[in-house]
Amino acid sequence: MNYQAHEYHMASDELNNSRRFNSPRLRRWLVFLLVFLPCMLVSQIYIFLQPAIYQSVATVLTMAATDIDQASPSADIQHVSIQKQILLGTAILEKTVDRLDNMLTNNRNWNADELRSMFAVISEPETNLVHLQAEGPEPKVLQRAVNAWIETYLQIRAAFVAENTEKVTAEITDQLQRIDRQVADKRNEIDRFRLQHDILSTESADNQAHARLQGLNKSLNSALEEEVKAKAKLDTILAAISRNEVVVPEEDTRAMAVLLQQAEKLRAELAAIEAHYTKDYIDLNPNLGKVREQLIEIEAKIAEKASVGKDFARQEAEHNYAAAGQAVTAIRQQMQAHKQLAAEYTSQFTEHQALQQELLKLETLQQDTKQRLVDIDVKQREKYPQVDVVDWASLPDTPIRPNYLQESLLAFAGSLVLSLLAVLIIDYLSREAIAPPAPMSLGGIHLHHQPRAMLDVAEQASPQVGYDPLKALPVVDIPRELTRPEVLALTQIAEPSIKAVISLLFNGLSLAEILSLSPDCLNIEALMILIPGQRNVLMTDSVADCFSQYPAFENWPTEAEIKTLLCCAAIDSGLPNPELITIESLRYTYMLFLLRQGIKLADLTKIVGPLSPDQLLELGRHAASPANLGLENIKLDYFRATGS
């Protein structure tokens, strides 16, 4: 009996030691150290074995500075880009290799590919400044290489400018000689044309044909005026004759006036005599009768002159009118005969003016070509921008990378996270059902037939102790899973922007990824969503239909606005507990939709992005068993899936 008790105690101690050795805490520490120590050791060795990288920088202005009295030119972005390509071109780098090989302080062999990987050209935005930099583990070598690079570029640039200046000057000089010959030929042609067609001046009025035509025009105008005057005078004389008025020629007008004056005077004297004396007395007195005789004599002369002058005045007016009309006819005939000469002169003068215009264009081209030669000599820097070295490369004293302390801390944090993740995964994979307690044995007597009441009391008195790694982890806030009718009702009533957000959430995107999208990120033709700086996700047909119906938003609503509109849609759709319908619940619903199809957790993170270990363990409770379907066998479109 004592032997059996001793054997029982020894078995009990051995079982306790085995349990202590296989306890979860010890297993966790063992896994943690097996992962943490190698990762930490390897990462730290890799970090501190990295060589220090230095950087040597020089600043160059690719366009020479202007004079103090001139305005600075605007930045020439295209020129800067071209110079960047030239600086990293094979010709410059090969010449730089030759220069470095010929330097007395050189102690290594160079090649163009090595320099290309070492050099970089960084342009300053909105300026003509470029930074030439080289990176490597040897500071002195970097300074020497950058300065040799700049000197080579300056030498090649100077040779290029000199070659182009000479070439362009020769071409322009040749052009100028041809233009000079053309100008001389054109001038000789104009001189011959002038002599041939008697063109005395470039002014039309100075030439004979034009002057003759102008004289005939003036003579015709004068003759027409005289004709009008003669006709008016003739009409006046005829009208006076028809009224029996006294009409005399112009040369007899004065004599007629004298006779009329004398007649009037004699009539006045005769009237005075008749007033004082009787007719008989006047007849008896010869002196008084003489006045009457003189009056009769003058009136006879007036009547005779009026009769003769009327015909003469009419004839004179008719002759003058006929002469004026004849003059007009003659001048018109002369103009008609001169029209052909005038037309020929006009054509010749127009041709002469065309020759003058051709000569003027040639002379203008001649002056412009001469000015180009002057500009090449005087303003060569404007045509071929030079290079001003603002700051030569200096000897770097501190490395730019790596940051040993920062990388060491990051490696420590990464090793720690990886170790904890390994512990969580091992605990998750080590879950197993708790075996029923073995039958008790006391001294070789196995108690298989204990009464049921005693077993129940034993179970209540000593509850079974099992380990569940999921229950050992801190419980995260589990969102509410939405049913399919709830999701469809919410999508039906939501605003277009919220519909787009919901469709993207059910495509695996997080809210932060959705807010970072732009219209260019959605390639509907290729069914691909390009998340800026993160990852690319295959686009579902539901998302493609949504953005085909509603164009992509230029500016997404803010996070607060999206949550507010989602809550409004949940309330408007009449769903229960609208406060539990959130972005997280929609995303959680989609992840459960994928898990129940049998997707692997590793493939799940490819669709919905990285997840924390707590989230993975929580989702693992709902995963289909076994989860062995490939990603190509999973239906990703929640809204097009059937039977879900």
pLDDT computed for residue 454 by the predictor: 39
The per-residue pLDDT for range 17-67, each reduced to its tens digit, is: 544 445 678 888 998 999 999 999 999 999 999 888 888 899 988 875 555
| Residue 11 vs residue 228, higher pLDDT | 228
Residue 435 confidence (pLDDT) above 80: no
Cα–Cα dist 163/175, whole Å: 18
| Residue 385 vs residue 577, higher pLDDT | 577
For the ranges 219-228, 284-293, 349-358, which has the lowest average pLDDT?
284-293
Q: Are residues 233 and 275 in the same domain?
A: yes
Q: Are residues 502 and 612 in the same domain?
A: yes
For the ranges 6-15, 270-279, 345-354, 438-447, which has the lowest average pLDDT?
438-447
Is 638 a domain residue? no
pLDDT computed for residue 355 by the predictor: 84
Q: Per-residue confidence at 470, pLDDT binned at 50, 70, 90?
A: very low
Q: Are residues 302 and 351 in the same domain?
A: yes
Q: Are residues 336 and 413 in the same domain?
A: no
Residue 589 confidence (pLDDT) above 70: yes
pLDDT computed for residue 424 by the predictor: 92
As separate numbers, helices (DSSP H) first and strands (DSSP E) second, the chain gives 22, 9
Is 162 a domain residue? no
| Residue 624 vs residue 416, higher pLDDT | 416
Tokens 């590919």 locate to 113
Residue 222 confidence (pLDDT) above 60: yes
Please state, for a pLDDT cut of 90, what percent of the chain lies above it: 16
pLDDT computed for residue 438 by the predictor: 42
What torsion, rounded to 10 degrees, do the Cα atoms 418, 424, 430, 432 define? Answer: -170
Average pLDDT over residues 250-258: 66
- Given 328, 358, 388, the domain boundary residue is 358
| Residue 492 vs residue 533, higher pLDDT | 492
Is 515 a domain residue? yes
Q: Are residues 608 and 492 in the same domain?
A: yes
Q: Give the torsion sign (CA, 295, 297, 299, 305).
A: negative
Average pLDDT over residues 63-76: 60
Is 117 a domain residue? no
Which amino acid is residue 47, in one-letter code? I
Q: Are residues 353 and 408 in the same domain?
A: no
| Residue 256 vs residue 81, higher pLDDT | 81
Cα–Cα dist 245/232, whole Å: 17
Q: Are residues 433 and 499 in the same domain?
A: no
Is 89 a domain residue? no
For the ranges 191-195, 286-290, 312-316, 380-384, which has the lowest average pLDDT?
380-384
- Host domain of residue 33: 20-50+404-460
N- to C-terminal Cα distance for the chain?
66
Average pLDDT over residues 504-528: 88
Q: Are residues 570 and 489 in the same domain?
A: yes
Average pLDDT over residues 631-644: 79
How many independent structural domains does the chain possess?
3
pLDDT computed for residue 476 by the predictor: 45
Which amino acid is residue 73, in one-letter code? P
Average pLDDT over residues 315-320: 74
Which amino acid is residue 441, in one-letter code? S
C-beta neighbour count of 138 within 10 angstroms: 15
pLDDT computed for residue 489 by the predictor: 92
Residue 2 confidence (pLDDT) above 50: no
Cα–Cα dist 516/498, whole Å: 15
Average pLDDT over residues 365-382: 76
DSSP assignment of 13-77 equals HHHHHHHHHT-HHHHHHHHHHHHHHHHHHHHHHHHHTSPPBEEEEEEEESSPPPPTTSPPPPP-H
pLDDT computed for residue 453 by the predictor: 39
Tokens 């295959």 locate to 538
pLDDT computed for residue 45 by the predictor: 93
pLDDT computed for residue 490 by the predictor: 92
- Nearest 5°: phi and psi at 129? -90, 140
- Quick check: helix, strand or coil at residue 103? coil
Q: Minimal CA–CA distance to 547: which of 492, 504, 500?
A: 500
Is 232 a domain residue? yes
Q: At what angle do helices 559-572 and 583-595 cross, to 10 degrees?
A: 80
- Given 341, 358, 375, the domain boundary residue is 358
Q: Are residues 488 and 619 in the same domain?
A: yes
Q: Per-residue confidence at 486, pLDDT binned at 50, 70, 90?
A: very high
Is 478 a domain residue? no
- Given 324, 358, 392, the domain boundary residue is 358
Q: Minimal CA–CA distance to 199: which of 359, 351, 335, 334?
A: 351
Cα–Cα dist 94/110, whole Å: 9
pLDDT computed for residue 341 by the predictor: 67
Q: What would the two tokens of residue 6 be?
A: 């001793």
Average pLDDT over residues 266-288: 74
pLDDT computed for residue 627 by the predictor: 65
Asked if 24 contacts 427 with a C-beta cutoff of 8 angstroms, the reply is yes
pLDDT computed for residue 483 by the predictor: 92
| Residue 232 vs residue 439, higher pLDDT | 232
For the ranges 53-57, 193-197, 286-290, 459-463, which has the lowest average pLDDT?
459-463
Cα angle 277-279-283, degrees, rounded to a multiple of 5:
105
Tokens 């605003």 locate to 495
DSSP assignment of 557-607 equals PPHHHHHHHHHHHHHHTT-SSGGG--HHHHHHHHHHHHHTTTB-HHHHHHH
Please state, for a pLDDT cut of 70, what percent of the chain lies above it: 75
pLDDT computed for residue 292 by the predictor: 75
Residue 209 confidence (pLDDT) above 70: no
Asked if 234 contacts 321 with a C-beta cutoff of 8 angstroms, the reply is yes
pLDDT computed for residue 343 by the predictor: 67
pLDDT computed for residue 137 by the predictor: 86
Q: Give the CATH number of the domain where residue 247 resides.
A: 1.10.287
Average pLDDT over residues 345-351: 75
Average pLDDT over residues 437-461: 39
| Residue 228 vs residue 16, higher pLDDT | 228
Cα–Cα dist 566/354, whole Å: 81
Cα angle 555-557-563, degrees, rounded to a multiple of 5:
160
Cα–Cα dist 364/372, whole Å: 12
Average pLDDT, rounded, for the chain: 77
Q: Give the CATH number of the domain where residue 613 resides.
A: 1.10.443.10
Is 420 a domain residue? yes
Q: Are residues 439 and 352 in the same domain?
A: no
Q: Are residues 420 and 502 in the same domain?
A: no
pTM (2 d.p.): 0.38
The per-residue pLDDT for range 548-564, each reduced to its tens digit, is: 887 656 678 889 999 99
Top-ranked range on mean pLDDT: pick from 77-91, 232-246, 379-393, 438-452? 77-91
DSSP assignment of 383-407 equals HS---EEEE------S--B--HHHH
pLDDT computed for residue 417 by the predictor: 94
